[in-house]
Amino acid sequence: MSQIKRILVAGGAGFLGSRICEELVAQGHDVICVDNFFTSQKTNVVDLLPKPNFEVIRHDIIHPLWLEVDEIYNMACPAAPGHYQFNPIKTMKTSVMGSINLLGMAKRCRAKYLYASTSEIYGDPEVHPQPETYRGSVNTLGIRACYDEGKRAGETLCMDYHRMNGVQVRIVRIFNTYGPRMHPYDGRVISNFIRQAFTGEPITIYGDGSQTRSFCYRDDLVRGILKMMASDQVGPINIGNPKEFSIRQLAELVVKLTGSKSEIIYTDLPADDPKQRQPDITLAKKHLAWEPTTQLEEGLKQTIDWFKTIDLSQYRPPTP
């Protein structure tokens, strides 16, 4: 086995962070999960708790934290619109103050630092698909800006710590990702549609459903993130699945796979909702030898199977 490292995963109890923790623990690393449990459940990491190379610290990254580590994955931030708009000022603080605290730790420990940025930094894109060179089209005044602009500032801080202090940073821009352990009430399209299909509620398409997204299965995404950390690339590098679907196509696929009797209804489109989104993954293929392998139908089946195992009443909406 390669050298054992002490690794901090901030947001390590979340949908993606918990999967990263699982992989790193399985590789034998000493993993510290730091989370304030704003949008996650302890059940996401409960299976890891008995392992001697895993520990959890309840902590909010907007406050400084003193640990000795070799690598830091900064996954901590509410990611779904309903979650990040719940307290937009806190969302911005998490991205900015949280990044400063963890980059400061990376500087002090000479640790590698991976930042989970997002396709949202492209805003409602005028360039399609989106390459990393595209600078984006974000409404700085809109209701999504707390997240988009926070992440843009997080990227800027990475580059400033890199240039000024030589911190080894890795920036990934993550596109819409789904899979087991998504929060069933996060308001994101896949969790909404599957939950609605199971409970018999109407499936809510916002707008006319012609807007598109490109959905990446969780395990493909996490494989890309681990490759990025192990690489010599600063980034940013897009990680996502380039296969694009309209929201209407997605609704029809969920109905087919669940055999649901739910009706599909059309409601208002939220403000600043991007019309299209598709990653250009040329750089990930070239520098990380990475590309997704899970088709949407297969990934949805895995996700639907996981939804069958959970008790929806155990999931609560976020609290401040």
Q: Taking CB under 6 A as the rule, does residue 211 contact ligand UDP?
A: yes
Interface pick for ligand NAD out of 116, 247, 250, 296 (rule CB under 6 A): 116
Q: Taking CB under 6 A as the rule, does residue 247 contact ligand UDP?
A: yes
Selection from ligand NAD, ligand UDP, none that 273 binds (CB < 5 to 8 A by kind) is ligand UDP
Site for ligand NAD in 176-195 (CB under 6 A): 176-177, 183
Minimum separation from the CB atom of position 190 to ligand UDP (A):
7
Given the residues 84, 113, 147, 185, the one annotated as active site: 147
What are φ and ψ of residue 65, in 5° steps?
-145, 135
Gap between the Cα atoms of 123 and 147, Å rounded = 10
Minimum separation from the CB atom of position 37 to ligand UDP (A):
21
Which of these ranges, 77-85, 130-138, 200-208, 268-276, lies near ligand NAD under the rule CB under 6 A?
77-85
Sketch the per residue contact string, 11 through 40, with ligand NAD: x for CB under 6 A, - otherwise: x-xxxxx-----------------xxxxxx
Which of these ranges, 23-31, 130-138, 200-208, 297-305, lies near ligand UDP under the rule CB under 6 A?
200-208
Selection from ligand NAD, ligand UDP, none that 61 binds (CB < 5 to 8 A by kind) is ligand NAD
Selection from ligand UDP, ligand NAD, none that 211 binds (CB < 5 to 8 A by kind) is ligand UDP
Which of these ranges, 131-139, 151-159, 199-207, 300-308, lies near ligand UDP under the rule CB under 6 A?
199-207
Q: Taking CB under 6 A as the rule, does residue 255 contact ligand UDP?
A: no
Q: Which is nearer to ligand NAD, 146 or 288 (CB)?
A: 146
Q: Which is nearer to ligand UDP, 24 or 203 (CB)?
A: 203
Size of the site for ligand UDP (CB under 6 A): 15
Question: Is 147 in the active site?
Answer: yes
Gap between the Cα atoms of 177 and 181, Å rounded = 11
Interface pick for ligand UDP out of 246, 252, 270, 282 (rule CB under 6 A): 270
Gap between the Cα atoms of 236 and 175, Å rounded = 13
- List all residues 6 or more positions away from 318 whose beta carbon is below 8 Å from its beta carbon: 38, 39, 78, 83, 86
3-state secondary structure the chain: CCCCCEEEEECCCCHHHHHHHHHHHHCCCEEEEEECCCCCCHHHCHHHCCCCCEEEEECCCCCCCCCCCCEEEECCCCCCHHHHCCCHHHHHHHHHHHHHHHHHHHHHHCCEEEEEEEHHHHECCCCCCECCCCCCECCCCCCCHHHHHHHHHHHHHHHHHHHHHCCCEEEEEECCEECCCCCCCCCCHHHHHHHHHHHCCCEEEECCCCCEEECEEHHHHHHHHHHHHHCCCCCCEEECCCCEEEHHHHHHHHHHHHCCCCCEEEECCCCCCCCCCCECCHHHHHHHCCCCCCCHHHHHHHHHHHHHHCCHHHCCCCCC
Nearest Cα to 278, choosing from 171, 136, 131? 131
Minimum separation from the CB atom of position 68 to ligand UDP (A):
36
Size of the site for ligand NAD (CB under 6 A): 29
Give the catalytic positions in this structure. Answer: 147
Residues in contact with ligand NAD by the rule CB under 6 A: 11, 13-17, 35-40, 60-62, 75-79, 83, 94, 98, 116, 118, 174, 176-177, 183
Residues in contact with ligand UDP by the rule CB under 6 A: 80-81, 176, 188-189, 192, 204-206, 211, 213, 247, 269-270, 273
